[in-house]
Structure 1
Amino acid sequence: MLEPIASRVVRPTLRQLLLVVGEPLSDLYVPDGQLDRTLDRLAILDPDDEATDLTDALVLLIGARGRQAARLVRAAAAHRAAAVAVKLDSAPALPELLEVAEEGGVALLGVQPRMRWEQLVTLVQELRTGIEDADATRADLPVSGLFSLAETVAELTNGSVTIEDPVARVLAYSRSSEDADELRRQTILGLQGPEPYLALLREWGVYAKVREGHEVVRLAERPELGIRGRLVVGIGSSGANLGTIWIAESAGAFADDAAETLRGASRVAAEYLVGARPAVSAGTRDRRALLARTLEGSARADLVADQLGIDLSAQCVVIAVTVAGGDEPTAELVERAAVGASGAALAASRPSPLVASLGGRVYVLLAAGAAASPSAAAVARGVVKALTRGRGTRAVAGVGGRVALSSMTESRAEADRVADALGRHRGGPDVATLEDLRAEVLLGETLALLDEHDELDDPAVGRLREHDAAHHTSLCESLLAYLQAHGDVRAAAAALYVHPNTLRHRLRRVATVAEIDLDDPTVRLLCHLRLLADARTAS
């Protein structure tokens, strides 16, 4: 059995978990009176494991079905687990599992077969991170800003507004009209939506829709429930869920542009909440700085292992992340994306991905279980997706080789080589290993070597450069196209958009001006490398 993740202070409750697992999980069944039980950790239990202490853990039953799953639910409950997640292949299996869970006093998550375990882990990670950020923000949040925003939105939309954090706790609200519905009154009084209503929102899939983007979701009036119509939009920033803004109908209908106003308010609220967040903790800054020094070789891994929480006997993979033609990605966003993309097996291992910024790049250190599985590339792809979503930029991630943690600098060097090649290789993949791009990596490093040493310049190519500059010709470009086409004049001419006879004439001029024999393979190779180096420098 893999040991738990998230040795942080933040402990979601089953009540809060309900907000994120209503969709696309089939349901979460919680014993009476246990909605506020906390989830201290995440653990994995498979049919071959013997359960040990699982106090307050959310346990994923991987690979267990039917009676076997019932046995593991009983074992998890006996070892004080707070909740157990199990795949439900058929409805008939549910009653027996519910009976076992009820006997053991443990909550049961019935997971739909099409949902991957990694998705569930990501939801739990997002919940934990969202609560952590919200709690840190609430501690010092100036109330006037969000309350003013709520009043302004209420006036512009002809509705009553509440602004809530990721787990439906009220951050601010507008003044209520006399005809406010009972739901709004209960929400304001309790500073959180009442649980029966939150259950309906999960059943209707509202939170799932809000998490999918920044579009406004409309909820029809439910007279039989005493609930007026509502509009809701998510508040998000850099892939993080910061909460929601709700507008409830008051006297009369919403303003015609209420949805557009709500979208604008979401952007304002996001800026406000991000600005109100406390800076990265001193401990996190120190850990990142220490990792950066270790990756660059100025600190020894064996001397800092305890501070970083890593086991030197394990192995690791380093991922180098770069945004091509853009600003350096933030370590916070990369860390969030790495954790979210890490998958169930990695997320249940220790330590979680470590992140550091160094030389315009952000590095992710995956230790232990991450290096022992194919998940390093999956994490890299998840990070790239998070960095490019909705930004119009290109991010690349080079995945280093698997090495001992004491040799993490070697994996970092390899990751850098691959990231450099990816940055040059426009139109190619965004994530790769050295094995994927070995030829491109070695060629790039060879050309860089040529650029760094003037004594390696080819005099023949130098003469072609001078002729092109003096006579406004394109002999260098023509020769490179010819060499790239392996001596196929017609193919090279097509690439240059000229007639083959024109190219033949230029090649004769090349031989004369450069004083070279293009029939000599060694000469062709040297010219080809030098021209490629020039072309890459020019681009």
Structure 2
Amino acid sequence: MDTRTLGELLDTLGEPALRLLAAPSRLTSPVTEVLLYDAHAPFPDRAPGALLLAVGVRAGAAGALVDEAAAARMAGLVVRGEGGPPSGQGLEDGPSSGQGLGHGRGQELASGQGRGQGLADAAARARERGLALLTVDEDAAWHHVHLLLAGAVGARPSPAGGAALGDLFSLAGAVATAVGGATVIEDPRQRILAHSTIPGQPVDEPRRQGILGRQVPGSPENTEQYRVLFASQGPVRMPALSAEELPRLAIAVRAGGETLGSLWVVDDGTLAPDAEEALTQGASTAALLLLRARAAQELSRHMTGDLLRRLLDGTAEPTTAAERLGLAPGTPVRVAAFALEGAAGAPDGEQAALRLLDLVRLQCEARYGRHACVLVDGVVYALLPVADGRAGERQRRLAEDIVRRAGQALRVPVRAGLGDVVPEVAEVRGSREDADLVLRVLGPDESVAAMAEVRARAVLLRLTELLGERRELTAGAWRDIVAYDAGHGTDYARTLVCWLDAGCDMARAARWLAVHPNTCRYRLRQARTQLGIDLDDPDERLVLWLQLRTLAGLRSACA
């Protein structure tokens, strides 16, 4: 098996999913499996390379467990708590999945003496014994942590659970053989995930069209059959809906009360006597495979999302990141940023942002297949590959479509910014900064824009920030002009801005000011005389215009 090292595991998941508190001098130790700690079960004598999840153990009281894990030659121990030395009595970690601390070793770990050692002592102890000590967030569910780690430690997952979906085709063939009729496996949205190909089994035209389109054709009659099916607990025999269709034997696929999909068998009158029993067994197996496919997809999304997060903040190794994201070397990319308007501070803002992430990911995956999307500080970022010269136009339409669909679904306005195209993944951070800047300068009537469309506004915004940071850049005649207007009731500053915005065209500036051109000339002449500004000097005109536009915030009627 392709065993991962501890270093590779950390690189794959990284923060915030996993934090390293203590480790051997080298992170090359192989990680072979992920185990859940059970205080009521005997501790394994030997488990070389195992990663132990310390369920039900206080983070600050893991010292004794460190000793046992090191003695068993485990690779590391994962506890719940902050990624730094704790304060006070340590970090609480209640029981998970009914696994409390009971008697014996559990009580020792939960005792006041154990808590007093603290997480810092446990880290020092782990370093002494060559054991990795890692932490996960306080609110992390252990079953989710186990899913992520087990998937990452095992075989490298396919982008969308491909191995499990491949097994679904094998299952469809096995069910078709056992039941005696052509079989399809569907998801809850009536999309066909897999179908059988047993020679000699009849397939009617509606089923053939569904397989070709990967979707069951919709109709009121179909809708009623699915309603009956999902309300039933076992196999259901469905009559033919038309003269060109054969009857069906169907069953819903469920796990823990959740409907995961359905199995449908074409019934030409020659099904096996035990067809219903065989189909029920097939549904049970399908449930396991569908859960595995979903787990693999969830793991893949988490891993690609976290990888994109590190690319955006510049902490990922670009070549490795591009390979793991399925991008060929030198592929141009750009970042698209999506944000909910005015929802960040709302009570349900976080939930709405997560729903926006799902919507963006769904639309991007429909166009690009495996795709990296991530939610960072309320903004959803998507990494878009640029395949040709028309990609920019298509990506703008994609952003518009996402904004429209998300706005309708969430009932909150959504805005999108497209960063500049960069030649390779190593420069993704710059495209992300572009996309963030576009979101900041979008006008009230704009929902989508690319950097090229708003570059002038973006440059002025950056200049405003730069000018405001330096004393020498905020000084100048613009202050005198604004102060003179405030003290004398004049309008020299706005007149200057309109005249400069108009390219020194007096007639146009007068129209924007709604005054006679002579009034405009008089004001400019008085500004020269009273304030001593030299409007014949192009450099002074440029600096004056920039300062009035950015620092004073003045705009002409056309701006």
Instruction: Classify the TM-score, shorter chain.
Output: 0.3 to 0.5
TM-score (norm 1): 0.46
Structure showing greater Rg = 2
